[in-house]
Amino acid sequence: MLYKSYYKSPIGNILLVGKNNKLIGLWIEDQKYYLGNLKEELQENNTEEIFIKTKKWLDKYFAGDKPKISELELEPIGSEFRRNVWELLCKIPYGKVTTYKNIAENMAKIMNIEKMSAQAVGGAVGHNPISIIIPCHRVVGINGSLTGYAGGVDKKIKLLELENADMRGLYTKI
């Protein structure tokens, strides 16, 4: 059984989805790939322990604290490749950014191959089913372009500003 709960955040309403008391999804309302590939019916349940913990985590995060990802039991659904990319995202420090190219280089090492496509990594980053907590908003283009956030570039900017990330050299295409 899949359970759902909602969280009202400064960047919009958030849908939380859990299974077996683990968080499998966190989507900002109207974001691209909302609900991902989930086909099962969702039953609302605000008393699931994972939702209580996740909401406390989000409260701390939006208050400017730095909660640890390890405080939550996450189980994002995706291919092994995507899960490996999401694991790398979890290693990006709070308030810092990295590039798709850097993640691609790290993935190539993990896969023991010479080169990995930044576009393939971008697809995995874009399909991250646990936004904010698995910090895909911390990934930028090689030239500093703030691109590729399924929740919207405006929300990506707000999250980076909340984390007091160094925004010098980062830009959006207008």
Indicate which residues carry an active-site annotation.
Answer: 136
Using a CB cutoff of 8 Å and minimum separation of 24, what contacts does 110-116 make?
110/84, 111/84
Read off the amino acid at residue 87: E
Side-chain-facing half-sphere of 82: CA atoms under 13 Å: 15
In the three-class reduction of DSSP (H, G, I as helix; E, B as strand; rest coil), residue 27 is classed as strand
Rg (CA), the chain: 16
**What six digits make up the tokens of 141?**
């283009």
Q: For 118-134, b where at least 16 C-beta lie within 10 A, e where not — what string?
A: beebbebbebbbbbbbb
Does residue 22 contact residue 75 with C-beta atoms inside 8 Å? yes
Count how many residues are written for the chain: 174
Q: What is the distance between the alpha carbons of residues 47 and 55, in angstroms, rounded to a whole number?
A: 11
